[in-house]
Amino acid sequence: MAEEPEETDDDGAAPGLRKIIHVDMDAFYASVEQRDDPSLRGKPIAVGGDGPRGVLTTCSYEARKFGCRSAMPSATAKRLCPGLIFRRPRFDVYTAVSRQIRAIFLDYTPLVEPLSLDEAFLDVTEDLRGIGSATRIAELIRQRIKDETGLTASAGVSYNKFLAKLASDQNKPDGLCLIRPGEGAQFVAGLPVRRFFGIGPKGAEKMAALEIESGADLAAKDIDFLRRHFGSQADYLYRAARGIDLRRVKANRARKSLGAERTFDKDISSGSALREVLERIIAITWDRIVKVEAQGRTITLKLKHADFTGLTRARSLARPVATREEFSAIGHALLDEVLPLAQPVRLMGLTLSQLDGEDEVTPQPVGGAAQLSLL
């Protein structure tokens, strides 16, 4: 006797599987600027500083056609796109719009895990409105975002976070992609490994040297091979190549760190000048710490040279940093450890980490360079 087909819903999800949506705003900061200034619509724009040390925070899709991208030096972007229009970031505006979007999410589920101002995971397995279909909910959310903010968003729908994140990038901008149960491994197999979270340019180069170009190539390698070549990342890569991700959406996820940094107009090597800049960074960072009532135990100083090499110094306490004076004293002590500098620096940053409530482990990047956390 033939078995009856397993019951599924409109998304193809069997009972017991999660229904996850990843929503990612399209060129968020640049789109807000184009929305608020209609003369910028349809033009290549960049959000960031346009000075000799400027860096793009993001850019519009019109600019991306020229090869411009986030984190690119502004001088490079201007060479690629001579007509590029720069706008200074307005984080107060972006934050206000982000709150509008977050409120829309919370109309459908309390399980919202923000990753940044412009993207979040939603678990709609049991949605508040009883809609049942994650795909339908994603469509409703995208339409409401457009109606209420004048902006577009892309969404990925699947049965785990890893696949939903990949799916949201599949049909950008203003698109939606669904990966049903049973389709994850096949979907991943056809992707270049550089699309995987945690695999940066260096990681992709290392994999290419091992003849791993696609998800299918990665899935063909056994766990022993992956452990020999990728160490602690082997288990993550093994699961990812098969579309497996067991992490849950965590609402109100704890911050990993709080900090601030400054890129200089000209390289600085003077100890007195660096101490003055550090004091301003301390003031900004401590204001942020007080605003969110954060408590942390590790202070890290970051310096970056003109050739983009850098150095860090960190100090951890057995208890949270108690006062601004203590935070400042440790920051200055870390700077004193590296003075005098062997060469000038172009950037300085200070962060407080090991925050109370931190309970997740961020997968480390494959091949060195740090990647934005998927968690």
Q: How many CB atoms lie within 10 A of CB 301?
A: 24
Clarify whether 119 is annotated catalytic: yes
24 is in an annotated binding site: yes
Q: Which phi and psi angles does 317 have, rounded to 5°?
A: -110, 160
Burial class from Cβ neighbours inside 10 Å (0-12, 13-18, 19+) for residue 209 reads exposed
Contact 330, 321 (CB under 8 A): yes
Asked whether the bond before 173 is cis by omega within 30 degrees of 0, the reply is yes
Joined together, the tokens standing for residue 38 give 């209609």
Joined together, the tokens standing for residue 322 give 């108690």
Cα separation of 135 and 140, whole Å? 9
Query: Pick the catalytic residue: 3, 4, 119, 126?
Result: 119
Distance of CA 33 to the CA centre of its chain: 21
- Contacts for 213-217: CB closer than 8 Å, 24+ residues apart: 214/189, 214/190, 215/188, 215/189, 215/190, 215/191, 215/240, 215/241, 216/189, 216/190, 217/193
217 is in an annotated binding site: no
Mind giving me the DSSP string for 298-313?
Answer: EEEEEEEETTS-EEEE
**Three-state secondary structure readout of 153-190:** EEEEEECCHHHHHHHHCCCCCCCEEECCCCCHHHHHHC
Cα separation of 98 and 112, whole Å? 13
Q: Catalytic amino acids?
A: 119
Binding site residue list for Mg(2+): 24, 118
Binding site residue list: 24, 118
